[in-house]
Structure 1
């Protein structure tokens, strides 16, 4: 297979972890006879510093012409001024819109080798394997916003808007995924308070009744879901929800396995290139120190192979290599809990060693 893969290293630890994932992808390509063409482009804070735009037109054009995109992370204290004309995160929102990436997939999978790294008791967390579908291009993050008045009378607003088609397409994707897992889907909303959630609930119920009657379906309020993730996470299979709720819940769920450094994500649309990234941030406090955990980005590269390139065997090879590295006892600082640890490049070397076997 020939494929064009765009790399968006971004800010903070982004360049370090993307470099390791690129090594892995190159090794897989060599082993299976594929040709992957890589090109690197700007996004986020570094793009603001370089050209004043968190998502330059050149980056957008390259992404649209690619087979898939691998992103590192964006943002940092340097660009946190709330009065700034633009912020790094604006680049993320814009690329999702430009590429029509309406579905964010976040697998919350517990690695057996790291079960003791979880902040939860073994009997609560063991067996957890949740796939979140977060709607990505609608809701409050993309609603009309503004400020009115000044001083003590100033107020601010942001609208939450969802349409029937937006709800239908994300629920369909989630239901199809459920059929390939344990055939259970949970929809999360706040229908007891919010009008957009009432629309979400009614549309989701109709899609499930008309198109997926074989899938076990239930509905949970977002505040209840926040509690359930802590006291009974293994009761859930596939979860679908809106943009803001998904943002919060998946960050909460990301701590179940014990570290943000282990969890990848995929943002998909209708047939165009997908965007793959770790769910953690740019970690500016450790940037340049060579201690960041690259495994989430490496696992994101496996999702890239599976979802955008249709290379399931190659994706599984990477995932198995990561499990083997953990079984060997290798840990970066975020996983070591004060014990012995290795750095970013050394962890990449360990994965590469298993890929060569």
Structure 2
């Protein structure tokens, strides 16, 4: 083990097992010198060796170490892909929502979650903007990902299609499903996607879909194998089809809102007793939106009392600028007539 760790001499498992090669020669030359301490170390070393995962490059891919590296990369990416999907570090109340979404699957599905599902599950998580739909869906995707060889994670579809077009998203989708290292827009369209997904057990996440054409262009006409999961997030419930199972993600309750705010504003589970009332007032202005709680909590971290009081006054009149920019996305997605109706209704509440 010392030779292996120091990298001064290559020792194979067969050398140790059968006492061959340089290791066997050295062992026999010095066998008479072995004392109890060496014997003890030898037993420990052998245990380490037996407990370790040892692969000799000469026995894989005819000794081509480049192919061995590629094989390792593929294996590691397959087993740990979910670790590369970013999630906020301070999740609050997410486990409750995950359990509820998982329960949307039929009871037969949940009895055999690690083998075969009774049918393909198409689940839509919908709700207003900045309410953490993507976080919830990503958590579920990571929970399920190690059960699927064929999977695709498409984040922020609405903005990506707006900036790069549907063909780009389709080609990325195909690349994900086929595990290609790169993607080309020369390979796009729904037909290749249908062929790839034909009778396969797949895991697909379509984030922030805002038009039914997006669904038609990414999963339309696909015949997924039983046990497949397709998770969709959107803001407009009108996009849903009757066969989809839906879950509305609502605002955080006051308890969770105060907890999330406290983690960012005070790095604790609750505000200091002297700031409890003020913190509750500030939290009440956020409407239970996780994004607003994180932004405002981060802004108030370390600030003095006068700034906290001033912030409370401002928030009662208008949301924080960063929150406004995020929420405006929902407004901009409305048709002109709908925008005018929204403004009329907003004025009604303002004057009352």
The alignment's TM-score, normalised by the length of structure 2, stands at 0.21
Q: Which one has a bigger Cα radius of gyration?
A: 2
Which one scores higher on RCO, CA 8 angstroms, separation ≥ 6? 1
Richer in helix (by share): 2
Richer in strand (by share): 1
The alignment's TM-score, normalised by the length of structure 1, stands at 0.21
